[in-house]
Structure 1
Amino acid sequence: MNRRTARHRNRERGAGLFIVILIVAGLAALGMTLLTLTSMGPKMSGGLRSQEEAFNAAEAGFNAAQAVIKQYFGDGSWLNFEGHTLTQPSNIDRPLIGTNINPNYFRRVPDEEILLALDPGKDGVPDYGPLLFFNQTFAATETGATDPRLSYTAFLINDEAAGGAADPNDVLLVVIGVVRSGSRILATTRLEIVLAYVAGV
């Protein structure tokens, strides 16, 4: 065998080894990717489940608020929505203060911050009102106790607070559904529904 043939074979062996190393590295990368994806699956599904539970909590809050409002109008406690809307903390119902943007307007503030602003002492008793509900639990556990993980907060906002002619017969119902793990909020969902009162209907 001459030297040229030996060198040529050594090059082929080197190229073959290089290809094998690339294939093994590719398979290792693919394996790590699959491992990462499968470990993320439960976290992602847990997050989706929390969002769904928060939506369900908000929906339960809407139903409860609607029933309470209907009762107030039915028994004559309320004649319209005047005086029953949330205005504090910090002009939460006003998008503008004068000509300046209000950073505390409820649509500019995350749900968690609204809940904290309503109860800055975190004692479970809101410092501001009127509220229809505050951190109201509603779902029962297997033992029949109320599940503290799921709650809703509901309040009314004057939908004309931004300006325009005041109309005490319509408001914006805001409901925040919350899912907690201990004191930590896992997910929130906010529903905003325009309500109108028509006498005699």
Structure 2
Amino acid sequence: MLNDNAVEFLSRFTEIEDLELLNVLDELPSLSPGGPWLAGGAIRRTLIGMELESDFDFFFKNAEQLSLFRKGIEKIGANKINENEHAETYMKRINGKDRLIQIVKMDFYDSPETLLDSFDFSITQLAYDGTDFYFGKYTLWDLPRKKLTLHKLTYGVATMRRLIKYTQQGFTACAGTMKAILEAVVDNPEVIQSDVKYVD
């Protein structure tokens, strides 16, 4: 995994003061190197200049940290609109837009690195701890090329659903990626896990 100071990284290609991602996060409970962490789509969209229409996915080190974050967003007026065994989704109007805030509770993580190692595609291996960005080994190579490369298959059906979603956003999965997914299922059919709705 790689990491870099987020402000220094982002200031190479944009005006930090106008950055929607950071302006939204300023209104939410604080992140830290020990968690909670923002990960996934909101960071990806910011880095490739896409409209920030995705939800904000937050991950945690433990249940206590998750509970404190939940209390924090409820205190600022976020309303719960959905809940399942994997995540709780809240809505809060911030900077003139309704923002979806997802509290991911399907698992807990020791660090941003262990969090990113759990993600399926390299382009999803993005996290922010309030100071630094964390990237998978190939994230910054695959992301600008809009290339879907499998990092790990844990939830097979969810990964296939996400593959379709990303191809609709202009990402391309080569034959090698398809082969890697099929081989992972052949090696361990339990990874199909059709009941899991992956978060991102």
- Give the TM-score band, short-chain normalised: under 0.3
Structure showing greater radius of gyration is: 1
So what's the TM-score if we normalise by structure 1? 0.22
Provide the TM-score with structure 2 as the length reference.
0.23
